Amino acid sequence: MKTRRSDRLIDMTRFLLERPHTLISLTYFAERYESAKSSISEDLAIVKRTFKSRGIGILETIPGAAGGARFIPSISEEECRDFIGSMMTEMSEQDRLLPGGYVYLSDLLGRPDVLRQVGRVIARQYLDKQIDAVMTVATKGVPIAQSVSSYLNVPFVILRRDSKITEGSTVSVNYVSGSSERIEKMELSKRSLKRGSHVLVVDDFMKGGGTVNGMKSMIEEFESELVGITVFAEATFEGHRMIDEYTSLLKVDKVNTLDKTIHVSAGNYLEKVFGTPSK
């Protein structure tokens, strides 16, 4: 039975949203909806227009009978700005302050609405880059990596500080933890990353950059290429930072354990991605 246009538009939207960065052929849609390719082409033009005007993303359409469509998720500058602003407010809440001047973030990085936006915002930065895998380190980077990976539609790999039998043989690297100046070790399963991959590194928090630097070494061990580094938040760091090229959504400027205040500002994301100053 032929499907009505309204039904097609709804199902097509859902179908494309669930398969970002994947070319879906006109033929596939024509069969799915038992409709003519010309009607499908018209549908795609409507979807494209709405995705663009609503800042949902870019629908690349390849014309002709052999053509199709590919959905590239994006997010508008305004939405990025709103999201970073709302995180600044939430992260500045007094009761997030932990002993030692640490900031509690686990609740934010366990909230589906926050993770969805983190994923969209970070994926936005790399939408025209070739990325084969997202890399992070256990445990708190995992939700960020997963969300970014779902918008880029590539797998994510997790480095671990402890060795697990269920990972099979691993490659390990040593790195200097910037904040504690200790030598630490991270491992990655040999099977998890192909040689020659283009890798995006993400993490929840960066201080001295030691962990991120360890991930860079791991990428070299796998004869792969680093595409970029984006962290949810960076802390102002007094010492020598081991990483100079990175993006942060947020910046924890100052933590005062005496009067219990946390000062959070926007990171360098907005400037790097939209060329506009952070504030």
Nearest CB to a copy of itself, comparing residues 64 and 127: 127
Binding mask 239-278 toward a copy of itself (x if CB under 8 A, else -) reads ----------------------------------------
Tell the smallest beta-carbon distance from residue 270 to a copy of itself (Å).
Answer: 22
Residue 143 structure tokens: 């939700």
| C-alpha distance across the termini of the chain, in Å | 54
Q: Kindly give, in sequence order, each residue whose CB lies less than 8 Å from that of residue 64, ignoring residues fewer than 6 positions away.
A: none
What is the phi/psi pair of residue 146, to 5°? Answer: -65, -40
Tell the smallest beta-carbon distance from residue 245 to a copy of itself (Å).
Answer: 25
- The full DSSP string for 206-252 is ESSSHHHHHHHHHHHHTT-EEEEEEEEEEE--SS--S--S-EEEEEE
> Does 224 sit near a copy of itself (CB under 8 A)?
no
In angstroms, the CA 150 to CA 138 distance is 18
Tell the smallest beta-carbon distance from residue 241 to a copy of itself (Å).
Answer: 19
Residues facing residue 199 across a β-bridge: 133, 226
In angstroms, the CA 135 to CA 224 distance is 12
Q: If DSSP codes are grouped into helix, strand and coil, which group holds residue 102? A: coil
> Does 98 sit near a copy of itself (CB under 8 A)?
yes
In angstroms, the CA 56 to CA 22 distance is 16
> Does 10 sit near a copy of itself (CB under 8 A)?
yes
Nearest CB to a copy of itself, comparing residues 148 and 229: 148
Nearest CB to a copy of itself, comparing residues 49 and 254: 49
Residues 145/123, Cβ–Cβ less than 8 Å: no
CA nearest 62: which of 41, 47, 46? 41
Among 106, 163, 261, 276, the residue binding a copy of itself under the rule CB under 8 A is 106
Give residues 121-180 in contact with a copy of itself (rule: CB under 8 A).
Answer: 138-140, 142-143, 146-147, 149-150, 153-158, 160, 162, 165-168
Pick the stretch among 106-114, 226-234, 245-253, 258-266 that binds a copy of itself (CB under 8 A). Answer: 106-114
Residues 41/57, Cβ–Cβ less than 8 Å: no
Give residues 202-221 in contact with a copy of itself (rule: CB under 8 A).
Answer: 205
Binding mask 30-59 toward a copy of itself (x if CB under 8 A, else -) reads ----------------xx-xxx-xx-x---
Among 2, 17, 76, 260, the residue binding a copy of itself under the rule CB under 8 A is 17
In angstroms, the CA 107 to CA 228 distance is 26
Q: Kindly give, in sequence order, each residue whose CB lies less than 8 Å from that of residue 65, ignoring residues fewer than 6 positions away.
A: 26, 37
* Binding stretches for a copy of itself (CB under 8 A): 5-7, 9-11, 13-14, 17-18, 46-47, 49-51, 53-54, 56, 98-100, 102-107, 110-113, 115-116, 138-140, 142-143, 146-147, 149-150, 153-158, 160, 162, 165-168, 189, 191-192, 205
